[in-house]
Amino acid sequence: MRIGVLSDTHVPERALRLPQALFEAFHGVELILHAGDIVRMSVLDELSAIAPVAAVRGNMDDPAHGLPLKIELTLEGVSVGLIHGNGGPRHNIREHIAREFHTLSPINTLPLEAGINKGRSGHDIRYPAACRRELHHPRVIVYGHTHEAFWGQEKGIWFFNPGSPTDAVVAKYRSAGILTLDSGTIRGEIIRL
């Protein structure tokens, strides 16, 4: 599966429209993921002419548009998280984003005997050992916010920030990305526009 990935379009603040090079790069994709800071929602309509679009709200998007802050999709058997993010690249943004997706498996009737740790206050904290083993996070997290393109793996999670297709002031260059999922293989590609 070939997926177009973008974030931080900021139309019309950074550009009046999406660049033509973006449409060319996304030719033939099966899905588009937009990691927020869309600003003008008509951008999603333009993108949906290429392929179905999944999008989340960024810090510059109006909450009234109803976009979620994060979503998790299963694509080709791979769990993919989509979030905008906040903070800066020097402030452990990927660590913060990963935490947003950490969830514990539902607790039914698990006994509270095995997991004991000292909390920050020094008091014992008990939790089921089974939950500790079943901490879940997506295999891939697509995010934005920094406008700086990044593809890499940290602590077992692939992180993909496609950069911004309209901003070369904060970022060194305009960019978007292609995420390819094929029989368990995960590959990300940053495309300079």
Question: Quick one: pLDDT at residue 186?
Answer: 96
Domain count for the chain, please give it: 1
Q: What is the mean pLDDT of each run of 10 residues along the chain (193 residues)?
A: 96 87 96 96 94 94 93 92 80 85 49 40 43 63 94 94 90 95 94 96
Instruction: Examine residue 124 and state whether it is found in any structural domain, yes or no.
Output: no
The model's pTM is 0.82
Six-digit token string for 51: 């392929």
Instruction: Examine residue 125 and state whether it is found in any structural domain, yes or no.
Output: no
Instruction: Examine residue 155 and state whether it is found in any structural domain, yes or no.
Output: yes
* Contact between 165 and 177 (Cβ < 8 Å): no
The Cα–Cα gap between 193 and 170 comes to 15
Instruction: Examine residue 36 and state whether it is found in any structural domain, yes or no.
Output: yes
Question: Quick one: pLDDT at residue 134?
Answer: 43
Helix, strand, coil share (%) of the chain residues, nearest 5: 15, 35, 50
Q: What are phi and psi of 89, to 5 degrees?
A: -65, -25
> Residue 171's domain spans which residues?
2-102+137-192
Q: pLDDT tens digits, residue range 110-158?
A: 343 444 333 444 444 444 444 343 446 799 999 999 999 999 999 899 9
Which among 175, 178, 176, 139 has a CA at the least distance from the CA of 159? Answer: 139
Question: Quick one: pLDDT at residue 117?
Answer: 38
Question: Quick one: pLDDT at residue 161?
Answer: 97
Question: Quick one: pLDDT at residue 192?
Answer: 97
Instruction: Examine residue 38 and state whether it is found in any structural domain, yes or no.
Output: yes
Question: Quick one: pLDDT at residue 104?
Answer: 45
Six-digit token string for 28: 């033939």
Give the CATH number for residue 38: 3.60.21.10
Instruction: Examine residue 58 and state whether it is found in any structural domain, yes or no.
Output: yes
Question: Quick one: pLDDT at residue 109?
Answer: 37
Amino acid at 150: F
Instruction: Examine residue 120 and state whether it is found in any structural domain, yes or no.
Output: no
Instruction: Examine residue 24 and state whether it is found in any structural domain, yes or no.
Output: yes
